[in-house]
Amino acid sequence: MFTLSVCLIVKDEEEVLERCLNCVSQFADEIVVIDTGSKDKTVEIAKRFTNCVHSFQWENDFSKARNFSFSKATKDYVMWLDADDIITHDNIEKIKKLKQTSEPKDVYMLKYEIAFDEANNPTFTYFRERILRRSMNFKWEGFVHEVITPRGKIDHVDIAIQHRKIKSSNPKRNLKIYNQKIKEGHKLNPREQFYYARELFYNNYNKKCIKTLKRYLKNKEAFIVNKIDAHKIIAQCFMRLGDNENAKKYLIESFKLAPPSAEFCCMLGNLEIEKNLKGAMFWFKAALCCEKETESGAFVEDSYYDLIPNIQLCYINYKLGNIFESYNYHKKAMEINPKNQAVINNEKYFKSLKF
């Protein structure tokens, strides 16, 4: 059995903090809350759940704040959360059971569910280093998109944390931090270069993003998972710029690094669908054959593996005059998510045909 400290860094989170801490209080032996300058009732709410509430002078560096939070923990293991995270009852029980293990590992990788469909099922999931042995003295790295490099005995477990935002984050915040660090003379390492490019993408600096990622792809230290994602982002930038041929080129080039993912196959299908229905059909059928990568750290959006290709194959077969084949794909999509609006619309149409 091990004891657990749960650590949060917060600022102006009065809308979501109580929701989060109500979950945490059911399994944590200690709650550590680090406030970085709230002007609302965040600190007041935190003090209802713990006496371990500290102020931290914000320095445009998430890792410094995270590491400060870990320094205040006193239990066997530390777990980090964001204020807008929640944990369902079933997953709270799983964490309680995990604490009872007789031979605990050094790092537990938990699922992070960050997007959900109309039926409230998770659609975008990836693993994060979530529960860590405190005596290993793990350190956060990166002033933005901070991370801990796992080491020791590592276990991927079937426990999920849900990221449930209420308010939208400022898309320019992280880019401002990167630009300030660059202005101060900070030289971006490969990981920072990749995430900087992502911030450029989020803020529609498409040409600069392409240039940055092309330079990143030449770096031998870059992680394969990030290189694959870089190809996708470059392709998306080219699509925004109306250059679908270069978009296709970079998506297909990524196959040299790893087998095609369902997301990339669906993107290629969408690039073909207006002018080449049979070509699009090939890629959406390929998406249905792809296997999900569950433990590489890659982002996995489940709908690319089933719902999206089935909806698109329903449409393509209908356009090609294959009505019964179209209906079969619709039925599969209906089984996956009957609340999806496209599925609802297709169901109304097929009922009008008296299928």
Q: What is the pLDDT of residue 170?
A: 77
Q: What are phi and psi of 184, to 5 degrees?
A: -80, -5
CATH number at residue 323: 1.25.40
Q: List, for residues 221-255, the tens digit of each pLDDT value.
A: 888 999 999 999 999 999 999 999 999 999 999 99
Q: Does the pLDDT of residue 11 top 80, yes or no? A: yes
160: which strand partners? 111
**What average pLDDT does the segment 297-308 reach?**
84
Which of 242-277 are b and which e, b meaning 16 or more Cβ less than 10 Å from the residue's Cβ? eebeebbebbeebeeeeebbbbbbbbbbbbbbeeeb
pLDDT of residue 295 exceeding 70, the answer is no
| Residue in the block written with tokens 């699009």 | 280
Asked whether residue 211 falls in the same domain as residue 140, the answer is no
Q: What is the pLDDT of residues 66-117, one digit of tens each?
A: 999 999 999 999 999 999 999 999 999 999 999 999 999 999 999 999 988 8
Range of weakest confidence among 161-175, 177-191, 257-271, 311-325: 161-175
CATH of the domain at 145: 3.90.550.10
Dist CA 215 CA 336 (whole Å): 40
Residues 264 and 222 in one domain: no
Q: Is 213 helix (H, G, I), strand (E, B) or coil?
A: helix
Distance of CA 140 to the CA centre of its chain: 18
CA pair distance 278, 264, nearest whole angstrom: 17
Categorize the per-residue pLDDT at 298 as very low, low, confident or very high, splitting at 50, 70 and 90. Answer: low
Please write the tens of the pLDDT for every residue from 27-81. Answer: 999 999 999 999 999 999 999 999 999 999 999 999 999 999 999 999 999 999 9
Q: Identify whether residues 217 and 149 lie together within a single domain.
A: no
Question: How many structural domains are present in the chain?
Answer: 3
Question: Mean pLDDT, to the nearest integer, of 169-176?
Answer: 87
Nearest-CA neighbor of 251 among 283, 204, 215, 206?
A: 283
Q: Are residues 243 and 270 in the same domain?
A: no
Which residues constitute the domain of residue 352? Answer: 259-355
Confidence of residue 355 (pLDDT cuts 50, 70, 90): low
Each as own residue / partner, the long-range contacts of residues 48-54 (CB below 8 Å, 24 or more positions apart, any chain) are 48/18, 48/21, 49/21, 49/24, 49/25, 50/21
- Which of 255, 281, 296 terminates a domain? The answer is 255
What's the mean pLDDT when you consider all of the chain?
A: 95
On the question of pLDDT at 296 being above 60, the answer is no
Same domain, 328 and 347: yes
My answer on whether 10 and 30 are in the same domain is yes
Same domain membership, residue 149 and residue 9: yes
At 294, the pLDDT band (50, 70, 90 cuts) reads low
205 secondary structure, DSSP code: -
